[in-house]
Amino acid sequence: MSNKSDQPSVQRRQFIGGTIAAAGALTLAPGVILHAASDGDKATSGASSKHRWGMLIDANKCADGCSACVDACNSEHGLTDLGRPETDAVWIRPVKLRDKQTGHVDRLVMMCQHCEHPPCVDVCPTNASFKRIDGVVLVDRHRCIGCRYCMMACPYKARSFVHEALSEQSVAAPRGKGCVESCTLCVHRIDAGEMQTACQEACTKEGHGAIVFGDLKDPNSEISRMLKSHNSVQIRADLELNTGVRYLNL
Amino acid sequence: MRSSLISNRLLIILLAALLLPAMQAFAESRYVTKNSKAASMESCVAPTDVIRRNHMDFLQHSRDDTVRDGVRGLKYSLSECIDCHASRDAKGQGVSVTAEGEFCQACHGYVAVSPACFQCHRTTPEENGSGNSLGYRLDAHSRALDLQQPAGR
Amino acid sequence: MSKMYYRELYCGSPVRFWMGLTLLGAIIAVGLGAAYYMEHQGHWVTGMSNQIVWGLPHVFAIFLIVAASGALNVASIGSVFGGPLYKPLGRYSALLAIGLLVGGLIVLVLDLGRPDRLIVAMTEYNFKSIFAWNVILYSGFVAIVAVYLWTMMDRSMEKFKRPLGFAAFFWRIALTTGTGSIFGFLVAREAYDAAIMAPMFVIMSFSYGLAFFIITLIAAYIWGDREIGVYRLTKLKNLLGVFVGAVLYFVLAYNLTNLYVAQHHGIERFILLDGGIYTMMFWVGQILIGSIIPLFLIYSPAFENSRWAIAVASIAVLIGGFFQIYLIVIGGQAYPMNLFPGKEIIETGFFDGQIINYVPTFPEAALGVAGMAVSLALVAIGARVFKVFPETLED
């Protein structure tokens, strides 16, 4: 890996020469230069269809009163609490359930389920909601016009709308007023090769280990092995969305 | 008639004589803010004239690669623009590139073009924001490749 | 039948026209100011939230868009189905349709999170999205109806009138199908996800559009000191009665289906019994004001030739229609999604399982009303510069 500012000064001097020469080069060059943009020497290879990222959440291990994963998610992505729960962004949320018949109580966390057939992607008029080739469902904020149709369509209520102007966002998660957003499965970490989401890291650190993240297409990954040996469920399985997030003991 | 023609010609020559050095000086000048990393560097990631003219295209091209295809660490990266070009205040804190007279604002204010980038992207270098800076992540990436990716956690 | 002359609509007094236009302009100005305020501050200043993502502006917008396609019906009956009584009303019908649609679209666009990026909606299409289709359907509607209006007004274009009338008619059916499908295609929420939404929206558009047509027609003829015959109004009134009845039938079918399916008992209980304000809106707004009162006024022999009864019935249909859309848009979101069947939610970080309270704010209402004002202003200006109204509509 060479260092970042590797432009030799000689090359620059040659290139500029005089203002006229530079102007001539500029009028000819743009098309060529544009393509040069994609071959930065430290660029990663990007998402691959060899993987499908997913998560497994064990309802038995999700501890009462714990908010480690939520806090970690908030700090990782710079989600700030403005004291307005109706409009504050929520990417991951704890839910506690009681069975109406049996009284059995479950606790789990809900977030974007990263469906194989995501309704939010179907309804998005501008292709801003999209599914990456490795199964991560994202919002491309460069295209989102803020129509909120995806929020109407999501069966998991996983999405939030940014209701106010923001500043000092996290570099990992640029976000701004008027766009919709949701759990990114810590895609910035995945792209950097770090196989651990912020929520999983926090949950493990707390000693609960209720969240397992991994590659659903790799039969040897922990998540695949656990899914094979345990009975897991999808939330709203009736919709046949084939979610990337699954639950144990629910 | 004739005399006015001459004076017109004279005027043009005079204007050109005045403007050319000014234009040349502008093209040669380096607008970098004091106390920024960029101030200590010879050149940007591409020759200054190229960057001046095409930075928006570079960034626009990279953004789709990164957001939609997950390609990171491209040569042209907005967060690196900010890291390098934001000036530092007396306490060493990064100053917003969109503040009055700062790197992005200075030119964009002059040409009356408002960049939409900063409705979503931060305008100051991220100091130690929970270890999210791209450099750190990419180091992790190369580590992970060397280690052959341990399964699961 | 004697020859029909059309003339620009001049008010009895010019002052009245300009005062009216100024008033509409003021309402529009307030609405634009409200939109700017909401966009500048962000949507947190509205009653909308992450739970109620579409609020009052959407109610206004959808109401106007649905009514727009219905307003074209009179023209369609005239040139597609050959109803001689309706023919002289065709031009105004087309003008009103364009006006209502533009008013609705303005509200829709100004409530986007990023209206400045509207261009993206025209350069990036996801053809699986009914919204993307609607962008085409709505703009196409304006274009087709504008040309249709031209063929009705220009004798040299007369030969294209019928084909364009047909095109406009099918396009408007597609448009309302598309609008209804916005909700029909949503599997997530219990109030939606029903194929009946599309035809129900079509029939709703017939009803609201005709009501809009009748009330503005009467107003225009009073405004311009022109005559309008009772016989013609009675014809329109009877048609309105059929449409109101048809809407009621669709509402019945929709609710009966839901009542039969155990999974949907919750939402039905919410609408019909214990939904508080939404239950009120259904029974009082939609059923009493929007259906029973107009049906009574339309079919009671006591009001057979009363213009006022026709006017009041039309207004009641519009009020009821507004509540109906409100109930569909807001009520459908206020009722919680059932993520965990058979379980009750005892703790949540995101309002799961709770009925959501939505209180619209003034800016939202101002934007919505401004949309209506845009429609009326366009119609007022259009009627003034084009020959859309017959000099007299005496029987």
Contact (CB<8Å) B75/A175: no
pLDDT in tens, C41-60: 999 999 999 999 999 999 99
Higher pLDDT, A216 or B19: A216
Q: What is the pTM of this model?
A: 0.88
Contact (CB<8Å) A40/B122: no
Contact (CB<8Å) A195/B152: yes
C235 min Cα distance to partner chain A (Å): 40
Q: Characterize the bridge pairing of strands A245-248 and A53-58.
A: parallel
pLDDT in tens, C324-345: 999 999 999 999 999 999 999 9
Residues B6-23, mean pLDDT to the nearest whole number? 68
Token pair 């900063």 is found at B118
Output the pLDDT for position A28: 42
Statement: residue A22 has pLDDT above 50: no
Q: Is C374 exposed, middle or buried (0-12, 13-18, 19+ CB in 10 A)?
A: buried
Output the pLDDT for position B20: 65
Contact (CB<8Å) C50/A94: no
- Percentage of the residues of chain A whose pLDDT score is greater than 70: 84
Statement: residue A11 has pLDDT above 90: no
For C217, the enclosing helix (H) or strand (E) is helix C197-223
Residues C142-155, mean pLDDT to the nearest whole number? 95
All domains in chain C, ordered by first residue: 6-338+358-390 (1.20.1630.10)
Statement: residue A55 has pLDDT above 80: yes
Comparing A16-25, C56-65, C333-342, C356-365, the range with the smallest average pLDDT is A16-25
Comparing B45-49, C43-47, C208-212, C315-319, the range with the smallest average pLDDT is B45-49
Output the pLDDT for position B4: 55
Residue of C nearest to A240 (CA): C187
- Give the best residue of B54, B119, B126 to mutate against chain A (max A CB count within 10 A): B119
Q: Characterize the bridge pairing of strands C6-7 and C389-390.
A: antiparallel
Contact (CB<8Å) A7/B53: no
CATH of the domain spanning A53-248: 3.30.70.20
* Residues in B 62-121 with any Cβ partner in A closer than 8 A: 62-65, 67-76, 79-80, 84, 119-121
Output the pLDDT for position A44: 86
Statement: residue B150 has pLDDT above 50: no
Output the pLDDT for position B48: 86
Sketch the domain layout of chain B as residue ranges: 1-30, 32-146
Residues B27-39, mean pLDDT to the nearest whole number? 73
Gyration radius (Cα) of chain C, Å? 21
Contact (CB<8Å) B72/A134: no
Q: How far apart are CA C174 and CA B28, in angstroms?
A: 60
* Residues in C 174-193 with any Cβ partner in A closer than 8 A: 182, 185-189
Output the pLDDT for position A10: 40
Output the pLDDT for position C164: 94
Sketch the domain layout of chain A as residue ranges: 1-43, 53-248
A82 min Cα distance to partner chain B (Å): 18
Gyration radius (Cα) of chain B, Å? 22
DSSP of B53-100, one letter per residue?
HHHHHHHHHHHHHHHHH---S-SS-HHHHHHHH--B-TTSPBPPTTST
Contact (CB<8Å) A161/C185: no
Cβ contacts of A4 on chain B, cutoff 8 Å: 45, 80
Q: How confident is the model at residue A37 (pLDDT cuts 50, 70, 90)?
A: very low
- Give the best residue of C38, C44, C49, C50 to mutate against chain A (max A CB count within 10 A): C50
Residues C178-193, mean pLDDT to the nearest whole number? 93
Statement: residue C127 has pLDDT above 70: yes
* Chains in contact with C, where contact requires at least 3 CB pairs less than 8 Å apart: A
Cβ contacts of B149 on chain A, cutoff 8 Å: 193, 195
DSSP of chain A, one letter per residue?
---S----HHHHHHHHSSHHHHHHHHHH-HHHHHHHTT--TT------TT--EEEEEETTTS-TT--HHHHHHHHHHT----S-TTTS--SEEEEEEEETTT--EEEEEEE----SS-HHHHH-TTS-EEE-TTS-EEE-TTT-----HHHHH-TT---EE--S---S-BTTB---TT-EE----SHHHHHTT----HHHHHHHHTT---EEEEETT-TTSHHHHHHHHS-EE-TTGGG----SEEEE--
Residues A189-205, mean pLDDT to the nearest whole number? 95
- Give the best residue of B23, B30, B68, B76 to mutate against chain A (max A CB count within 10 A): B68
* Chains in contact with B, where contact requires at least 3 CB pairs less than 8 Å apart: A
Tell me the angle at which helices C56-71 and C130-153 cross, rounded to the nearest 10 degrees.
40
Residue C78 near residue C89, CB atoms below 8 Å: yes
Q: How confident is the model at residue C131 (pLDDT cuts 50, 70, 90)?
A: very high
| Average pLDDT value for chain C | 94
Residues C361-385, mean pLDDT to the nearest whole number? 97
Comparing A87-96, B67-76, C314-323, C352-361, the range with the smallest average pLDDT is B67-76
Statement: residue B31 has pLDDT above 90: no
Higher pLDDT, B150 or A200: A200
Contact (CB<8Å) C349/A95: yes
Output the pLDDT for position C347: 93
Higher pLDDT, A68 or A26: A68
Comparing A78-87, B1-10, C43-52, C57-66, the range with the smallest average pLDDT is B1-10
Cβ contacts of C351 on chain A, cutoff 8 Å: 85-86
Statement: residue C141 has pLDDT above 90: yes
Residue of A nearest to C135 (CA): A125
Residues C180-204, mean pLDDT to the nearest whole number? 94
Contact (CB<8Å) A149/C131: yes
pLDDT in tens, A150-169: 999 999 999 999 999 999 99
Count how many pairs of residues, chain A against chain C, have C-beta atoms within 8 Å.
174
Q: How confident is the model at residue A209 (pLDDT cuts 50, 70, 90)?
A: very high
Higher pLDDT, C168 or B153: C168
Gyration radius (Cα) of chain A, Å? 22
Exposure string over A9-25, b if 16+ CB within 10 A, otherwise e: eeebeebbeebeebeeb
Residue C230 CB partners (closer than 8 Å, separation 6+) = C305, C307, C395
Residue of A nearest to B27 (CA): A19
C140 min Cα distance to partner chain A (Å): 17
- Out of B13-27, C4-18, C367-381, the most confident range is C367-381
Comparing A33-37, A110-114, C14-18, C271-275, the range with the smallest average pLDDT is A33-37
Question: Rounded to 5 degrees, what are φ and ψ at C337?
Answer: -75, 145
pLDDT in tens, C65-102: 999 999 999 999 988 888 888 989 999 999 999 999 99
Q: How far apart are CA C55 and CA C330, in angstroms?
A: 6
Question: Rounded to 5 degrees, what are φ and ψ at A83?
Answer: 70, 20
- Give the best residue of C53, C59, C130 to mutate against chain A (max A CB count within 10 A): C53
Beta bridge partners of A213: A55
- Give the best residue of B63, B132, B134 to mutate against chain A (max A CB count within 10 A): B132
Q: How confident is the model at residue A40 (pLDDT cuts 50, 70, 90)?
A: very low
Output the pLDDT for position B139: 45
Cβ contacts of A165 on chain C, cutoff 8 Å: 42
Higher pLDDT, B131 or B104: B104
Cβ contacts of B63 on chain A, cutoff 8 Å: 142
Contact (CB<8Å) C135/A125: yes
Statement: residue A39 has pLDDT above 50: no
Residues C33-45, mean pLDDT to the nearest whole number? 97
* Residues in C 113-142 with any Cβ partner in A closer than 8 A: 113-115, 117-118, 120-121, 124-126, 128-132, 135
C363 min Cα distance to partner chain A (Å): 15
Residues A21-30, mean pLDDT to the nearest whole number? 42
Comparing A102-106, A246-250, C5-9, the range with the smallest average pLDDT is C5-9
Output the pLDDT for position A21: 41
Residue A141 near residue A179, CB atoms below 8 Å: yes
Q: How confident is the model at residue B146 (pLDDT cuts 50, 70, 90)?
A: very low
